[in-house]
Amino acid sequence: MQTSPAKTAVLLIDCPDRKGLVAAIVNFLVQKYDINILNADQHQDAELGLFFMRVEFATEDPLCTQQGFHDAFDPLARQFHMNWRIEFAHAQQNVAIFVSQYLHCLADLLHRHQTGEFSCNLSLIISNHENARALADFYSIPFHHIPVNAETKPQIEPQQQALLTDHRIDLIVLARYMQILSPTFVQAYPRRIINVHHSFLPAFVGAKPYHAAFARGVKLIGATSHYVTEHLDEGPIIEQDVARVSQNDQLPALIQKGRDLERMVLSRAVQWHLDHRILSYANKTVIFA
């Protein structure tokens, strides 16, 4: 067989659970493309009777391309009623960041991208304020200031979407973007918009969760990263983290602790999405190790 430089890919599958799934998938990969499995993980949801699998593999077969794999794997996928996709490591995703006035998450994402933690093309930053321009310029990322409010949103969102289309954006990250996206906007990017919310959802939804948590006298605060859906703060949760607080923490200290959590849960969610480690179902997610 003619060989080419080794390429790596990730195969993601979800389907009804049944015997023989793992054997069928692995046998196909080995027999068809003589693969070397680099990582494999699986999960069963016994209540819903569903099976989930992620296989990361390497192959030197030149016929293992996006279209070639689709044509070869489709009969097996139909047999087992699979939802599936194949992602090749060389195909970097194009990412856009939306931000408003709070810049801590944006600064963290930009630093991680510059240091090589995120394997992606950070294509542009869109903001309804000028605050982030200096950071964007420092990291040499194109910056677009597009003011928006509830009244102008129907006219502004098409401008934003035109920019996203021009840059072939695969993933949108809302790094404390304090505007609610319209259902039409969200539906154009299903499971491709990640938001960070400054509370441990489903507690304290809405605009001022830290103030609500402080008023309630909680002992733990949290932050949540999730996929955006048409329902505010109710999309599939990707990652969460918490920090302990006490009566000695006044509101500013509580907010600062929360912002540290926001950075971490958002960066983890972005990393896992870029690494194709997330499968979403029934408003939940499976995160593969």
The set of residues, in sequence order, having a beta carbon less than 8 Å from that of 183 and lying 6+ positions away, is 230
- Here the tokens at position 205 are 């939804």
**109 burial class (0-12, 13-18, 19+ CB within 10 angstroms)?**
buried
Distance CA 141, CA 121 (A): 10
Place of tokens 């996006």: 66
DSSP-assigned states of every residue in 40-89: EEEEEETTTTEEEEEEEEEE--TT-SHHHHHHHHHHHHHHTT-EEEEEET
Which three-class secondary structure string do you get for 216-282? HCCCEEEEEEEECCCCCCCCCEEEEEEEECCCCCCHHHHHHHHHHHHHHHHHHHHHHHHCCCEEEEC
**43 burial class (0-12, 13-18, 19+ CB within 10 angstroms)?**
middle
> In Å, how far from its chain's centre is CA 179?
19
List the beta bridge partners of residue 284: 281
Q: Which of 233, 241, 249, 275 is catalytic?
A: 233
Distance CA 191, CA 193 (A): 6
Tell me if residue 71 is catalytic: no
- Here the tokens at position 26 are 């692995």
Place of tokens 């390429």: 7
Enumerate the active-site residues: 233
